[in-house]
Chains A and B, each alone.
Chain A
Amino acid sequence: MTDPIIEASKVGFTYRGGKPVLNDVDLAVHPGQNVALVGESGAGKTTLLRLLLGLASPTDGTIRFDGTPLTRTRLRDYRRAVQAVFQDPYSSLDPRHRIGRIVAEPLRGLGLGTDPAKVAAALEAVGLPADTATRYPHEFSGGQRQRIAIARAIVGNPRLLLADEPVSALDLTTRVRIVDLLGSLCADRGLTILLVSHDLGVVAELCQHTAVLEHGRLVEQGPTSQVLGEPSHPYTRRLLESVPRLPQ
């Protein structure tokens, strides 16, 4: 298998004065292998994502990017390779800025130049018309805003997208379209996704590898077909049984 883009080894994290929220987490993301991080509120998913984004440092263990530990000096290179999309498309876009400026932000921040053609290409890749760039966030629906957030994440051609519940705030029919969009970005641009989600249907649709987090520990991980098809941990089984499904 190819070398991982990012790799967490024996990662632990404790908020100051608190109990450990992550214990001994081993997780690797290989190019072309979308990884799902599954778990419920308080399991530590978002904390792990913050560590993987370099927004906080682990209390124990290491996070490696392209084989060497992720340090502050490497954050700029890291950010070129790894971008994020968050859950709530209403709070993740600055309401005072035009879409063009919002989408161009990673380019400015990373010193990649503010070529409007790159912004236009990113908007086109997420299926939004070119005139979107001149408008403001409030003019768009939740699904369209999430497309804008995805355009911002991919504008600098990252290798890895960290997506924190990117579709859980969306209606079912919109959810299908955004999942399709993410799938096609992986196929067309060689993008890899680390998806944080509690929606196992979305996980099964998008990710080849699944890791289950409970109370700060990875209780099970492996190929999605194995973890969701033949879950070995009782918690994974309980998650699967809880998913509401349509009668046949």
Chain B
Amino acid sequence: MSLLTVAGLTVRDQAGRALVDDVSFAVAAGDRAGLIGESGSGKSLTALAVTGLLPPGLTATGEVRLDGVDMIRAPEKHRTATRGPVAAIVFQEPLTALDPLMTAGRQIAGPLRRLHRLRGAGLRAAVNDALDEVRLTDTDRIANSYPHQLSGGQRQRVAIAMALACRPRLLIADEPTTALDVTVQAEILDLLDRLVETRGTALLFITHDLPVAARVTRDTHVMRNGQIVESGPIADVIAHPSHPYTKTLVESARRFDAALERTARD
């Protein structure tokens, strides 16, 4: 059985409009899947529905099973117990995802304290390990810093450290590099790549950026207007897009690639 199975997932707003429409896909343990789509395609709502975090006013129907737990109908208590140990999320904007009133160290300690029942020296060591793993080697300074005292790249590393601290089996990353500079983006992608590889963590990577998706995912689902319009191994989808929308996406990305290639040739 897959770690995550989504079947016929539909998310409606209060007016009954389908924002996510009959979406089905699966992520097996250790897999790397991508949800690709532009603004309003429903990719982020899909991620929230998968983790049972939909905002009030939106209702999900269909089937979402995360490690066997029904994330739509199970009681809140069971869903909360599944997030964290099974699936953790990294969001786009680390400045709003991190608590501005709490040091980075305390935020990373939160899940370790709660789920692994660590205290005192053991907890401090675990926080340092988590920071080391995301290559924040200046551990003491980072652990004692508030989010506003860190750079965008450092904040996103802290968010990743927090998400991975309790060794989830699935990491959901929702546009984790969109707010970052391109050189920092490259570092964070390398980091995610290495972490999910060495730990066998499954990855559900959500992005509007096709070249970024090509860099980190294997299977991909292209979303538009709440529906999946095309699925398949990302190399095939890029080489032979079958849906007109996917073709437009690939052509758009190729345009800028080609412009850069031309400068190298001239």
A interface residue numbers (CB < 8 A to B): 40-41, 142, 171-176, 198-202, 204-205, 224-225, 228-229, 238-247
Interface of B is mostly: helix
Residues of A within 8 A of B215 (CB): 244
When the two chains form the complex, which single residue of A40, A202, A246 contacts B254, counting CB atoms closer than 8 Å? A246
Interface of A is mostly: helix
B96 within 8 A of partner (CB): no
Interface hits, B152-198 → A, CB 8 Å: 152, 181-186, 189
Q: Which residue of A lies closest to B248 (CB)?
A: A173
- Assembly CA distance A206 to B140 (angstroms): 45
B interface residue numbers (CB < 8 A to A): 38-39, 152, 181-186, 189, 208-212, 214-215, 235, 238-239, 248-250, 252-257, 259-260, 262-266
Task: Choose among A176, A201, A202, A228 the residue with the greatest number of B CB atoms under 10 Å from its CB.
Answer: A201
Asked whether, in the complex, the Cβ of A40 is within 8 Å of the Cβ of B181, the reply is yes
When the two chains form the complex, which single residue of A40, A198, A228 contacts B260, counting CB atoms closer than 8 Å? A228
Residues of A within 8 A of B265 (CB): 229
Residues of B within 8 A of A238 (CB): 183
- 14 CB contacts below 8 A, A to B, read A40-B181, A171-B38, A173-B38, A173-B249, A199-B182, A205-B255, A229-B263, A229-B265, A243-B182, A244-B185, A244-B186, A244-B209, A246-B238, A246-B257
Residues of A within 8 A of B250 (CB): 246
Q: Which residue of B lies closest to A202 (CB)?
A: B256
Q: Which residue of B lies closest to A227 (CB)?
A: B263
Task: Choose among A142, A171, A199 the residue with the greatest number of B CB atoms under 10 Å from its CB.
Answer: A171
When the two chains form the complex, which single residue of B238, B239, B263 contacts A224, counting CB atoms closer than 8 Å? B263
B44 to chain A, nearest CB (A): 14
Residues of A within 8 A of B253 (CB): 172, 246
- Assembly CA distance A175 to B250 (angstroms): 13
- Assembly CA distance A202 to B255 (angstroms): 9
Q: A172-B208, A204-B263, A229-B263 are in contact. Are A242 and B183 (CB under 8 A)?
A: yes
Q: A172-B249, A173-B249, A239-B182 are in contact. Are A247 and B259 (CB under 8 A)?
A: no
Residues of B within 8 A of A198 (CB): 181-182
Asked whether, in the complex, the Cβ of B211 is within 8 Å of the Cβ of A244, the reply is yes
Residues of A within 8 A of B249 (CB): 172-173
- Assembly CA distance A115 to B72 (angstroms): 57
- Assembly CA distance A199 to B255 (angstroms): 13
Q: A172-B208, A225-B263 are in contact. Are A201 and B256 (CB under 8 A)?
A: yes
Residues of B within 8 A of A246 (CB): 210-211, 214, 238, 250, 253-254, 257
- Assembly CA distance A173 to B255 (angstroms): 10
Asked whether, in the complex, the Cβ of A40 is within 8 Å of the Cβ of B183, the reply is yes
When the two chains form the complex, which single residue of A172, A224, A228, A242 contacts B182, counting CB atoms closer than 8 Å? A242
Q: Which residue of B lies closest to A142 (CB)?
A: B39
